[in-house]
Structure 1
Amino acid sequence: MSTTEPVAAVELLDGVLQLTIATAAAGTSMDFTLINAGTEALRSLGDEVGAILLVGTGANFCAGGNVRDFASADDRGARLHELASQLHDFVRALDAAPVPVVAAVHGWAAGAGMSLVCAADIAIGGPSTKLRPAYPGIGLSPDGGMSWTLPRIVGASRASEILLTDAVVDAEEAVRLGLLSRTVADEDVRAEALRVATGFVTGPRPTYATMKKLLAQSPTATLDQQLDAERDGISAAARSNTGREGVDAFVAKRKPDYRGLD
C-alpha cells in the first residue's frame, strides 16, 4: 500500500468521513498535519457524515510517533507535550463523534497507532496485522488513551502484561482479545473497512449514537443505572421518527428508510 502520491487528510466518500493518520513518509509514523486536520473535521461534523473511517496509506496503518522528530527537539519533553496534546484533541473529538468509527488496520499499528485502534468502534485487520505498544522500547509511557482503553478491551491483567512487556500482538490474538473485530485478506482490509463504514450511512443514526453512549458509560455505571439508561433510551427511540420508521417497516415487512430522520 506504499504510495508517494499526495494524500487527502480528510475525504468524504459517500457519507463516510475518511481520515488519514499516516502515510509512507517517515516510515508510516503518525502525521500531525493529518491528525490536526482530522480534529478540525471531527469538530465540525455535519449531517452528511454517517460514519468515520481511519486509514493509513503507507505499508502500515501507523507505526507510532516520529521518534526522530522529537529526538531532535531542544526540549523533548515540551515537544512530546505538544504532540500528545494534539493527539488527545483528536482522540477526544473521535470519542465525541455520534457516528460509528471504523479502523482499517493493515500492517503494523504501534504506539499511538495502536491507541487509535483501541479508540475505534470496529477495527478490521488482515493476517499480517500486528499491534504493539512500543512505548517501553524507547523509555516512554503511553499516550492516545491506551492506558484507559486497553484495560477496558482486554481486561486489567492482560493490559498490564501487554503494556509492560511491550508485547507484539498478532492478528489472531488481537481478534481473540477484541482489539480487532475480525480479519480479512490483507489486500481487502481497506475495502472491507470502507464497506462496513458505508453500511452505517443509511442506517438508524440516532440508534447508533445512543448505542455508543450506552457502551461508553457502561464501565462505570451500576447495573441499576444502566438499566434505567437503557429504558430511557429505548422509550425515547420509540417516540422518534427513526424508531417509528423502523417499527412500521418491520410490521409492513419492508426495508426501513432512515434517510433524513432524527
Structure 2
Amino acid sequence: MTDDAPLLIQREGSVVRLILNRSKAGNAINIELAKALMEAAIACDEDPEVRCVVLTGAGRMFCAGGDVRLFASAGDRIPQLLKELTSYLHSAISRLARMEKPLVTIVNGPAAGAGFSLALLGDIALASPDASFTLAYGKLGLSPDGGATWLLPRLIGLRCAQELMLTDPTLPAATAADLGLVTSVFDAETLSAEADQLIERLSRSAVCAWGRTRELLLGAYGASLESHLEAEARMIARAGRSAESREGIAAFVERRPSDFISSAAGG
C-alpha cells in the first residue's frame, strides 16, 4: 500500500485502520476511493483475525463527500457516474455496518455529504473540536446517499432529521454531540489517546457478541416487538454455543478478567 493510494490500510495486531487519503481533495470520494473502501470493508468482514475497524481521514478533513469536480466533468453521464460511485460506496457502508466486529470513526475534521454518513456510521463516533457536519446535498441539487436518510432518523428522530436535511446547517462538533450524531468530542491533545484506549478495549472484548448485537440493532426498527423478541432469543442462544460465551461465563464465576482473544483462537 503506497502513501499516494486513495485509501491507506494500517494493520496493528487485530485492529485495522482505514484512512481516507485524498487530503489534497478534502478526501472527497471518487471511483477509486469508493472501490478501495469496498474492497477493504470486505476484507475486514472476512478476516477472523480482525477484531476492530477504525475509519478516519488524512489531513485536515475527514471527508468532503463526493468528488464534485468529478461530477462536473461527467457532463451528461453524471447519472451513470453516480450509480457506479454509489454501487461501490454503498457496498462498503453495508459491509462496515454488518460485519461482526465493531467500527470506530474518528472524525478529525469537516464531514460533508457522504462523509457525513461515514462519520455517523461508527458504533462509536469520536470527533475533534475541528470537526463539523453538513449534508450539503441541496447546494448541489442532489438528494442524499451513503445511508444518510436511514441513519439520521434512527440517531436523532424523524423531525430533527427533516430539519437538518431541509435547512442544511453546518454543525460544530459540540452541537453534533448534543444532538447524538457523535459519541464524544475530545480536544486535539487527548483525542488520539482516548481513541487508542477505546480501540484497545473493544479489540479485547466479546467481538462475536458485539457482532450479534450490531445485527439486532440494525433490524430493530423494521420488526414488530414479537418478531424482534424471537430474533433476540435465537441470537442469545446462538451466542451461548460459542467459546466466547463459555470464557465470559467462566471468568465471571472465577472472578477473573475474560480472555476473549485466546478463546477465539481456540475456537
TM, length-normalised to structure 1: 0.91
Letter in 2 for 1:23: R
Within-5 A mapping of 1:77-226? 77-226=79-228
Q: Is the 8 A contact 2:34 2:85 kept in 1?
A: no
Q: Secondary structure at the match of 1:63?
A: coil
Alignment-derived partner of residue 46 in structure 1: 47
Q: Secondary structure at the match of 1:73?
A: helix
Q: Secondary structure at the match of 2:11?
A: strand
Change (3 A) 1:147 1:22: farther
RMSD: 1.9
Alignment-derived partner of residue 257 in structure 2: 255
* 2:15 matches 1:13: no
Farther off after superposition, 187-196 or 62-71: 187-196
Q: Secondary structure at the match of 2:100?
A: coil
CA–CA distance in 1 between the matches of 2:87 and 2:237? 39
CA–CA distance in 2 between the matches of 1:194 and 1:77? 41
Q: Secondary structure at the match of 2:133?
A: strand
Q: Secondary structure at the match of 1:157?
A: helix
CA–CA distance in 2 between the matches of 1:21 and 1:33? 11
Deviation per residue, 1:67-108 (Å, 9 max, x gap) = 112101232222222212221121122122111111000110
Q: Secondary structure at the match of 1:253?
A: coil
Q: Structure 1 stretches of 5 or more lacking a match?
A: none
Change (3 A) 1:137 1:22: farther
CA–CA distance in 1 between the matches of 2:93 and 2:121? 7
Q: Is the 8 A contact 2:26 2:62 kept in 1?
A: no
Alignment-derived partner of residue 26 in structure 1: 25
Letter in 2 for 1:197: I
Shift of 1:242: 1.1
Shift of 1:22: 4.0
Shift of 1:56: 0.3
Q: Is the 8 A contact 1:28 1:61 kept in 2?
A: yes
Alignment-derived partner of residue 56 in structure 1: 57
Within-5 A mapping of 1:62-81? 62-74=63-75, 75-81=77-83
Q: Is the 8 A contact 1:214 1:229 kept in 2?
A: yes
Letter in 2 for 1:89: S
Deviation per residue, 1:168-187 (Å, 9 max, x gap) = 12212211222101111134
CA–CA distance in 2 between the matches of 1:239 and 1:82? 41
CA–CA distance in 1 between the matches of 2:64 and 2:40? 23
Q: Secondary structure at the match of 1:254?
A: coil
Q: Secondary structure at the match of 1:131?
A: strand
Change (3 A) 1:34 1:17: farther
Farther off after superposition, 232-241 or 10-19: 232-241
Q: Structure 2 stretches of 5 or more lacking a match?
A: none
CA–CA distance in 2 between the matches of 1:199 and 1:33? 33
Q: Is the 8 A contact 2:105 2:120 kept in 1?
A: no
Question: Where in structure 1 do 4 or more consecutive aligned residues deviate above 4 Å?
Answer: none
Letter in 2 for 1:53: V
Q: Secondary structure at the match of 1:9?
A: strand
Q: Is the 8 A contact 1:10 1:37 kept in 2?
A: no
Letter in 2 for 1:49: V
Shift of 1:139: 1.2
Q: Secondary structure at the match of 2:74?
A: coil
CA–CA distance in 2 between the matches of 1:77 and 1:227? 42
Farther off after superposition, 40-49 or 62-71: 40-49
Q: Is the 8 A contact 1:42 1:94 kept in 2?
A: yes
